[in-house]
Structure 1
């Protein structure tokens, strides 16, 4: 009895489900009247069809927009290739080859440029221009700055451990500058300024020579002018006169050798006259020949010449020197 009752209940459920499905199939809209004339509660079954229609229209619009975007991008790409002159060798004036990059015409770099070598064509020149300055840096493997060349509007600055200037033919060294020493290896160093050359400290050179048509002048306006050499100092004038003057003392000193004044005429002007009993005016009036005397201190003076030397007699100059 219990089994038969269970079967009747299951049969009743199956019959009820068939009835519900049959009733829903009767309320489906017709193909030609989708969503037409529905108002209020009777339009609940037409919602999915309306949503599907707008979704399909949006999909078609999106595909159309995507197609237009692709066409515009393709047109812009073709225009850029045409304007920039892209080719298999490079872009416009920029050519790529096995040795590197070749640029024809003017090029502007807005960021730092890192290259191993920059050179111009054989028949042209390489010109670097900048609104402010042009700076060339050299770095080591660790990225540390080892050398810098800056060409600015006011000066050209070089920062390096050693600066060398070599000749174009043979690479002969002409000029060397270091922190402690500057060396000129040229055969001749010429100064053409009207004021000559000014040195704040000592100058070491084997020869100072003026042109044949100009005078050589060594001058120290406010300090002492000293000329020293381990083997001697030679001052000569081949064609003109030689003048040595000083505001205070003029000292010629030789520690181991002699002082040689070699000339046809040697004049020592304004030497004091040594006298003992007569006045200077009387001695100058009566005496016409004098001898040159030297004091132990080195002071030179005149003494009236006689049959014998009068330097020891009339040595009042040495007493006050």
Structure 2
């Protein structure tokens, strides 16, 4: 043993020993311990409330393995039951209703359906508003559900109505600003057919012929100025039990036996005369023809 080790050993043996040694406790005590318990209790209460709220939300929103609430995820897609509201744009490939219920699209302002191409350009639009229904597209078609026959189509060139009958139920009828081409115009049973042009002329043309028939009624043609019946290569044939031409002017005829005044008073039979310009007038009938090409009616017509 070296000297330094000996001195150090003797000094440690000569140190006085205390009878009651002091121990320092290790841990959290006092107000720190109470705060820790308070925070642990608060965390436990928060976890219980959070778990209860989660269970309540799952119960109210009807979360299942197939979906949430009215939303069901199936093999064919997503199925919505009841009333659903979308606040943002909806992008889908196909929308259809159930077999036993209709599909209703409702909005406070309007319902707009847009169709776009692969570059995002608008190619078609259908807007259902409070005042009108507007469709913007190159061609609009309405087809039959049975055989797929086109019932109505419209584009920039023409409008085609493919139905067997076009029925106009308005009181004023149908108004056409330009020409109309049709093979048949017919009124409803027990109703009158009326073709009218209030301020212009009414022209009916056909390359082979025009047939106007009324099986159980009369045919009436009325105009303000002139009515022309013209046949360029054929004839105009009037076939009836009685043919009447009303409001024809009465021509004058003087005979040697009686005065014009007395003859006109007793006259009951007249002769139909034709002027060189085609105008018709009546002349008192006599033993021979009383028509005169130099009549005042022919000269002043």
TM-score, length-normalised on structure 1?
Answer: 0.73
Question: In structure 1, what is the Cα distance between the partners aligned to 2:39 and 2:208?
Answer: 102
Cα distance in 2 between the residues matched to 1:254 and 1:57: 120
Q: Which residue of 1 aligns with 2:283?
A: 303
C-alpha distance in structure 1 between counterparts of 2:261 and 2:221, whole Å = 29
Give, in whole Å, the separation in 1 of the partners of 2:160 and 2:122.
25
Change (3 A) 1:280 1:256: farther
Q: Secondary structure at the match of 1:220?
A: coil
Q: Pick which of 102-111 and 83-92 moved more.
A: 83-92
Cα distance, 1:267 vs. partner? 0.6
- The normalised TM-score by structure 2 is 0.77
Asked whether 1:237 is paired with 2:214, we answer yes
CA separation in 2, counterparts of 1:194 and 1:102?
Answer: 47
Matched residues in 1 for 2:213 and 2:88: separation?
Answer: 62
Give the secondary-structure state (helix, strand or coil) at the position aligned to 1:317.
helix
RMSD of aligned alpha carbons:
3.3
Is it true that 1:292 corresponds to 2:261 in the alignment? no
Q: Find the counterpart in structure 1 of residue 234 from structure 2.
A: 257
For structure 1, which segment, 236-245 or 106-115, has the greater mean C-alpha deviation from structure 2 after superposition? 236-245
In our comparison, the structure showing a higher alpha carbon Rg is 1
Matched, 1:195 2:175: no
Cα offset for 1:307? Answer: 5.2
Deviation at 1:179, TM superposition (A): 2.3
Number of aligned residue pairs: 275
Match among 201, 204, 207 for residue 224 of structure 1 = 201
Which residue of 134, 137, 140 maps to 2:117? 140
List gaps (5 residues or longer) in structure 1. 1-29, 35-53
How many Å apart are 1:107 and its aligned residue?
A: 0.6
Give the direction of change, closer, same or farther, for the CA distance of 1:31–1:222 in structure 2 (3 Å limit).
Answer: farther
Which of 38, 63, 68 is the aligned partner of 1:86?
Answer: 63
Q: Write the mapping of 1:13-162 to structure 2, written as runs, cut at 5 A.
A: 32=24, 73-162=50-139
1-structure distance, mates of 2:251, 2:237:
25
Kindly indicate which of the two structures has a greater share of residues assigned to helix. 1
Shift of 1:257: 2.5
Rounded to whole Å, the distance in 1 between the matches of 2:261 and 2:186 is: 45
2:276–2:293 CA contact under 8 A, matched in 1: no
Aligned counterparts of 1:33 and 1:102: Cα–Cα separation in 2: 67
Change in Cα spacing, 1:215 to 1:282, as seen in structure 2 (3 Å) is farther
In the alignment, structure 2 segments of 5+ residues that lack a partner are 1-21
For the residue of structure 2 that corresponds to 1:146, the secondary structure is strand
Tell me how far 1:102 sits from its aligned partner: 0.5
Kept in 1: contact 2:125–2:135 (CA 8 A) = yes
CA distance in 2, matches of 1:180, 1:280: 67
Query: What's the counterpart of residue 8 of structure 2?
Result: none
Deviation at 1:94, TM superposition (A): 0.7
1-structure distance, mates of 2:280, 2:134: 55
* Match in the other structure for 2:6: none
On the 8 A contact 1:276/1:313 being kept in 2, the answer is no
Which aligned pairs between 1:180-191 and structure 2 lie closer than 5 A?
Answer: 180-191=157-168
CA spacing shift, 1:282–1:227, aligned 2, 3 Å: farther
Question: Do the aligned partners of 2:254 and 2:260 also contact (CA within 8 Å) in 1?
Answer: no
- Secondary structure of the corresponding residue to residue 125 of structure 1: coil
For the residue of structure 1 that corresponds to 2:210, the secondary structure is coil
* CA contact 1:276–1:316 (8 Å) conserved in 2: no
